[in-house]
Chain A
Amino acid sequence: AAGVIQSPRHLIKEKRETATLKCYPIPRHDTVYWYQQGPGQDPQFLISFYEKMQSDKGSIPDRFSAQQFSDYHSELNMSSLELGDSALYFCASSFRQGTEAFFGQGTRLTVV
């Protein structure tokens, strides 16, 4: 069965650079979530989209932005990267009226 696809799997950036993370949800899922997981931490909710519209916002820095496109894939754009942005970034998808969300393998971002 198709799963949530994230790219790239690993990314190394320098401070003050920009990064773009991509997420391709499970086909027909209408909701996409982004989470950030720091080392030894639980996943922190960043932002979600339902039918290409932002539906909820969590602890996402103003330096980050995200959108969902017409084909339902989503991108998380991160600017002015800081060392503290180094983390595992997960995308997940689900049905809005459904229950569980399915997670991708994550993108490991390292800011140096």
Chain B
Amino acid sequence: AQSVAQPEDQVNVAEGNPLTVKCTYSVSGNPYLFWYVQYPNRGLQFLLKYITGDNLVKGSYGFEAEFNKSQTSFHLKKPSALVSDSALYFCAVRALSRDDKIIFGKGTRLHILP
């Protein structure tokens, strides 16, 4: 069965500093990997995805993520954090199989400090 782990419940970063939100996954075969962001009382917004190819993928709002197959990780990164980046971030995985549901991690709350 596929699963996603986000080891940090909360990450605090000063505005202007680089940020990293960690994610590791477990899935049979090759995965589709995603990051979603959720603002209070809002839906889940798609940020970026890894399917195949370059291990560094770029997404919305200046975010990027690095796929590492040997470490089964897909960490979310941004070179310079903004206060408006404060939100709940979910890593998700979808297996390339008949069972194609998207499984989410527990989420990491990102606080960007002014």
Contacts and interface: CB of A to CB of B under 8 A. Distances in A.
Contacts of B106: 41-42
A102 B100 contact: no
Interface string A32-54: 01000000011101001000000
A42 B101 contact: no
B83 interface: no
B105 A42 contact: yes
B101 A100 contact: no
A99 B52 CA distance: 11
Contact of A96 (B42, B46, B100): B100
Contacts of B98: 55
A64 to B, nearest CB: 16
B107 A42 contact: yes
A8 interface: no
Interface in B5-38: 32, 34, 36
Contacts of B44: 43, 90, 92, 103
A46 to B, nearest CB: 9
A71 to B, nearest CB: 22
Given A41-B106, A90-B44, A103-B44, 13 more contacts: A33-B102, A42-B90, A45-B101, A45-B102, A48-B100, A48-B101, A58-B101, A90-B43, A99-B51, A99-B94, A103-B36, A103-B43, A105-B42
Interface in A37-90: 41-43, 45, 48, 55-56, 58, 90
B7 to A, nearest CB: 14
8 contacts: A42-B90, A56-B99, A92-B102, A99-B49, A100-B46, A103-B45, A105-B42, A108-B41
